[in-house]
Every structure is written in structure tokens, then in C-alpha cells.
Structure 1
């Protein structure tokens, strides 16, 4: 169970980092700092990629027959991951809108 918890916490951390970087990108775009905004979006993507690796490890383990115990913590991690994906997608669009102003 300890290994599963470590994976879950890594998923939460990297998804949270990605979401935070995406929000920073919006703030930078608001100020007209588009290079910084673009870098924050790149950082967000990198962090989300790290989170995705942990999510994939859980999926692969289950596909290999190693059932994962569904816990509130795991659900929380998945929620973080999915919301980070959404925020990054929206932040990308918002930055583009600011660039056209």
C-alpha cells in the first residue's frame, strides 16, 4: 500500500504544479508578459507529463491484473489530474486571447 500511496502523492503534486503554472501563465498574459506566459504554459505541460506517467503506471498495473484499491485519496488524485488538464487547456486559450488584444 505504501508504494501506491507514493504514486498517488506524486500524481497530486505534479498535477498541482501543472495547474499552478497554468494559472501563472494567465497572470503573465494579463500583464502582457507573453514570453513568461508561454514559458509557464511549457512548465505546466512538463508537470502534467510527469503526473501522467504516474497515472499510466496505475493503469498499466491494473491492466496487468494488479487490482488497485480505490481510496478517497486515489479519487482525489484523479480529480487533481483531470482539473489540471482542464485548467491548462483553458489557460492556453486565455493566453492566446490576451495576445490578440
Structure 2
């Protein structure tokens, strides 16, 4: 049963990371075409996905701190990799949206 919960959490991290990165990419595309309202909306959407993932990670860390150790699997490493890439991509997307705004003025 605990394994199923961990798998759900890990898959949630992968999905949230992918969704966050996808929304950030859509923000860049919107800014490139001059739709800055959509770009800002997509950045906020990306942040929402990252917050969901962060909350899941916090739950896992809390469990670990309470002595409920989780086996580190390749799937968990993959999930963490997804999250790190999504966070980096989101940060870069914000900078690119700002740059497109400056170029438009």
C-alpha cells in the first residue's frame, strides 16, 4: 500500500514537472508573438504546477524526517530530474518574457 502511494507521488512529480515546463514554453511562445497577457498567465500556470510538486516533495521529506524512509528508485531520480529541469526552465522563461517585453517597447 505504501509503495502505491509513493508511486502516485512520484508520477505526480513527473506530471507536474512536465506540465510546468510545458506552460513555461507556452509563455515564451506567447511573448514572442507579443501576447504578454497570455505569457504572464502561462508563467503563473507554470508556478501553480511547481507549487503542487513542491508540496508533494515536502510531504515526502516530512515522511523521511519522521523515520519513514522511502526507497530511492530510478523512477524517483527521474522525477527529481524532471522537477529540477522544470524549475530551471521556468526561471529562464520568465527572463525571456521580460526580454521580449523590453524589445517590444
Q: TM-score range by the shorter chain?
A: over 0.9
| Partner residue, 1:28 | 30
| Partner residue, 1:56 | 58
How many pairs align?
Answer: 101
* Offset at residue 80 of structure 1 (A): 0.5
Mapped to 1, the partners of 2:40 and 2:48 lie a distance apart of 12
* Offset at residue 15 of structure 1 (A): 1.3
Runs (5+) with no aligned partner, structure 1: none
1:3-14 aligned at under 5 Å gives the runs 3-14=5-16
The ranges of structure 1 where at least 4 consecutive aligned residues each deviate by more than 3 angstroms after the TM superposition are none
1:18 to 17, 20, 27: 20
| Partner residue, 2:45 | 43
Mapped to 1, the partners of 2:68 and 2:48 lie a distance apart of 28
* TM-score (norm: length of structure 2): 0.94
